[in-house]
Structure 1
Amino acid sequence: MSNTYELKAEAREQVGKGSAREVRRNGKVPAVIYGDKQPPLAITLPYKEVFYKIHGGGFLTTVATIDVDGKKIQVLPKDYQLDPVKDFPLHVDFLRVSKDTQVNVNVPVRFINEEKSPGIKRGGVLNVVRHEVEFQCPANAIPDFITVDLDGAEIGVSIHISAVKLPAGVKPVISDRDFTIATIAGTAAAKSDADETAEAAAPAAAPEEK
């Protein structure tokens, strides 16, 4: 799980598009905190800190503490909007969380030991079906990524979610099938090499009787 962080915020009474534009003109980012059976809380955040957190990676999978005028609230970022041209943050949504909160998050997939895959060594290609997988997990135990080990993976192999070791309490949202994360696809040259290897390993045919 990524290291948590703290942001200082100010509560705002005015909401709506006009208020949000005014907040941005003042160099801040409008945001809202919702959930936990409490009314939504509109806030403003420092632009620079939010910008670097969003573009630094792991923003949507890291629990944060927001200090709203001295009151500290644990949250998980759930969504954000960026300017389509300049890429600066326009708005952020935060979900209140506690140690008992279960959340659905998209977790990146990391592949290791490509150099130990016989299929890739023969020219096979790693075909990534899912770069991220959606999991249900405790808000305070969100993994930074899941790891897929390619050691020993041959051409034609499909790697399913059941082959991945998951942290305790982390479950895939898709539970009705053993879905594919990646495959090792063979190129024409790799398949030709594999066929030659199979032929060489096959026993020689007995000579025909005359």
Structure 2
Amino acid sequence: MSTAFDLEVNSREGLGKGHSRRLRRQGKVPAVLYGGGESPAAIFLEHDKLIQQMENEAFQTSIITLNMGTETQSVVVKDIQRHPSKRRVLHLDFQRILADEKITLIVPIHYSGQEVAIGVKEQGGEVAILISDVEISCLPKDLPEFLELDISSLELNQRMSLSDIKPPEGVDILALTQEQNPSIVTINPPRQEEEDEIPELAEGIVETEDGEPIADSTKAEPESPPSEGTSEDSN
């Protein structure tokens, strides 16, 4: 069962980009609440309190209780719009949930046993995660915070697929119900550090500090033998 979260929210009458900008300047986050057989409702909540709860990874995969005055509503997060460069939430979409109605959510995959995997510990490979989350369907009471896969038995160049995950009872992995079973993790061979080959310089050639080849002035060129018919001593 997922972790419980509570948020205080208020209804808002103003709509449009201008109203949303004013709310953000006041430290609020505009949001919308929909689903559950009811009409959509425009709401807002405190940005800083929201950020505190979002620090928990389970926030996006848990049942959240919205408190609006004396009323409460159980919801899940369906979409979060974030600022592209700042630690700021711009907008939220909440979906109402019903106890007897299945919901679909994207949950993270936790890969356990990475450091002790055979392909890592004994064969020196590196874990490569190909898929980090997956969409599931279940009743609210069965909603998991994450799915887990133990890869400790994985060897070098081997792969594990989505079907290797054993979800909790009552939880369906949607891709598998659609006959899709992609690889999700593998162990690659260790990276080979390629050293640049240094060409061997010809005899009598050295390099300057800039790497330019020049003749070695410390090695004198051999003297040419005297020509035939000439004498080294002049008369």
Shift in Å, 1:181: 1.3
Point out where structure 2 has 5 or more consecutive residues left out of the alignment: 193-235
Shift in Å, 1:188: 7.3
Shift in Å, 1:118: 2.0
**Matched residues in 2 for 1:164 and 1:82: separation?**
31
2:130 aligns to what?
129
Shift in Å, 1:57: 2.2
Deviation string, structure 1 residues 74-120 (Cα, Å, up to 9, x no partner): 11011111222322111111000021232222211112223442221
**Matched residues in 2 for 1:51 and 1:162: separation?**
34
Q: TM-score, normalised by structure 1?
A: 0.82
Residues 1:188 and 1:85: Cα distance change in structure 2 (over 3 Å): closer
Higher relative contact order (CA 8 A, sep 6+): 1
Between 53-62 and 41-50, the greater mean CA deviation after superposition? 53-62
Identity %: 31
**Matched residues in 2 for 1:110 and 1:171: separation?**
17
**Matched residues in 2 for 1:83 and 1:181: separation?**
29
1:90 aligns to what?
90
Between 34-43 and 48-57, the greater mean CA deviation after superposition? 48-57
Residues 1:154 and 1:35: Cα distance change in structure 2 (over 3 Å): same
Shift in Å, 1:56: 3.1
How many aligned positions are there? 189
Query: Is the aligned partner of 1:182 residue 2:185?
Result: yes
Point out where structure 1 has 5 or more consecutive residues left out of the alignment: 190-210
Shift in Å, 1:161: 1.9
The two structures, once aligned, show a CA RMSD in angstroms of 1.8
Query: Is the aligned partner of 1:71 residue 2:74?
Result: no
1:206 aligns to what?
none
2:171 aligns to what?
170
Shift in Å, 1:43: 0.9
SS at match of 1:114: coil
2:220 aligns to what?
none
SS at match of 1:48: helix
Residues 1:152 and 1:47: Cα distance change in structure 2 (over 3 Å): closer
Higher helix share: 1
1:22 aligns to what?
22
SS at match of 1:40: strand
1:111 aligns to what?
111
1:80 aligns to what?
80
**Matched residues in 2 for 1:115 and 1:128: separation?**
13
Asked whether the 8 Å contact 1:76–1:139 carries over to 2, the reply is no
The one-letter code matched in structure 1 to 2:61 is T
Q: TM-score, normalised by structure 2?
A: 0.74
Asked whether the 8 Å contact 1:107–1:134 carries over to 2, the reply is yes
**Matched residues in 1 for 2:191 and 2:42: separation?**
58
Q: Could you say which structure has the larger radius of gyration?
A: 2
SS at match of 1:166: coil
Asked whether the 8 Å contact 1:110–1:146 carries over to 2, the reply is yes
Asked whether the 8 Å contact 1:110–1:148 carries over to 2, the reply is yes
